[in-house]
Structure 1
């Protein structure tokens, strides 16, 4: 049986939502693209009517352009291997798949087999978050990674010496993938949990909180982050555009957080805040 490939051009704020929706329609593999993602399902599960009905529900909120094509069944790993390029971030961090050799010059080496999850490092927000992580002391720290995807930022925290790491995701298959990647990088102690911000309510405070999600979720969940952030702890945010930064700065200031700095790449932002 052949595959159906659905390629969507969509605002990143809605990508995770639509991935979840297409998962309900039978898609079981997803690959990031520069302006959205591609989704794959067995041909016998595909329904044009169901796809259009799903996308039409979001027509008032976001523009979605998509194409559909049939592709011959092939070994998924082979197809993925041809399209996954290793990364070298800030001259220090290697992000690669297990079939890539480790660069000799890499100070930190992260191996990611993403399956259906976002977070290979190829998206600007992930790269920016890693660059910001490199500026902070993680040694012996307690770290929270909200919206962890593949677990790449949690693994980066472990590489930087964090002693206790909690990673949270809303999709069960993403949680499974993050756990697999933690094991793959020899960090099985990373605590990957299914859920949202409520998952860490009442937790012992964290020294560093990482949240690479989207503007609306960040604004909504900010009080929950603040509630579990240590005094003089660090909050790293991404998943939003430069024009959204003032909104995030205003919200964090309302909660007693201080803006420190931010990085920009192709209009995407990652910002650092600290608690008083």
Structure 2
């Protein structure tokens, strides 16, 4: 399937809110540029009227413009190679593409070849999730990673010692990409399923549940995540803004979860809840 690239020119202060708005209408990959960012969506669900509505919502506050172009799936590597830079998270974790040299003096080295899939570690939510993972004991644990994308969080779980990691993803190319990245990182403990939370609803409870998706999905599926979590286990969430944290806390409380901590970066949040 081919993709539509939307090259958006916008001030840095508006990139976060624009990416959040676009993610709500189907855009699932974003790359920063010198003038703003590029957003990607499959051609079959691209709707220019929806795009215009998002841009016009903020155009009165700042100079925002966009251009669209078509990208065939086979050319995706060329696109992200032009924009994907190595990343160090928390002084412990390196995230790089296979064509980057392995850095020295890091504890965990993650190789990600993202294709058309979200999750290179550059977005605040992914960084925050990894920072929270570093505080959670994964050794010998079973881990569920909802909305696995490139598989980066599943790979992090594996490198932290998880004995079994299950990723779930609604996009078929993301499933393929996550499996490829798991293999590239020598993580045979990772299994990736195509679908939503229903494909794992009958699984035995997991020691840890990770979900970096978006506010609406997190709220809709919180009860399912809670059911899939062992007593005493952490639920680590991201994909929402600081102003959304109270409503996530309320829903978590309704599900019997206890709020433990949260991290923020550029108004994005990753929070840890625990099942008593």
The residue that corresponds to 2:265 in the other structure is 265
| Alignment: residue pair count | 258
The residue that corresponds to 1:175 in the other structure is 175
SS in 2 for 1:19: coil
SS in 2 for 1:238: strand
The Cα offsets for residues 95-145 of structure 1, whole Å up to 9 and x where unpaired, read as 000011111101000000000001000000000000000001000000000
- TM-align CA RMSD: 3.0
C-alpha contact 2:7 2:66 (8 A) present in aligned 1: yes
Tell me how far 1:14 sits from its aligned partner.
4.0
CA separation of 1:98/1:247 partners in 2, compared to 1, >3 Å: closer, same or farther?
Answer: same
Structure 1 distance, partners of 2:226, 2:260, is 16
SS in 2 for 1:104: coil
The residue that corresponds to 1:38 in the other structure is 39
The residue that corresponds to 2:127 in the other structure is 127
Structure 2 distance, partners of 1:194, 1:66, is 35
TM-score using structure 2 length: 0.83
Tell me how far 1:37 sits from its aligned partner.
3.6
TM-score using structure 1 length: 0.83
The residue that corresponds to 1:7 in the other structure is 7
C-alpha contact 1:260 1:272 (8 A) present in aligned 2: yes
Query: Is structure 2 residue 150 aligned with structure 1 residue 142?
Result: no
Structure 1 distance, partners of 2:145, 2:206, is 10
C-alpha contact 1:13 1:214 (8 A) present in aligned 2: no
Tell me how far 1:199 sits from its aligned partner.
1.3
SS in 2 for 1:186: coil
Question: What are the residue-to-residue correspondences of 1:206-245 with 2, within 5 Å?
Answer: 206-245=206-245
Q: Which residues of structure 1 form unaligned runs of 5+?
A: 21-29
CA separation of 1:36/1:221 partners in 2, compared to 1, >3 Å: closer, same or farther?
Answer: farther
Q: Which residues of structure 2 form unaligned runs of 5+?
A: 9-14
The Cα offsets for residues 174-223 of structure 1, whole Å up to 9 and x where unpaired, read as 11111111111111331101111111111110010000011111000001
SS in 1 for 2:120: coil
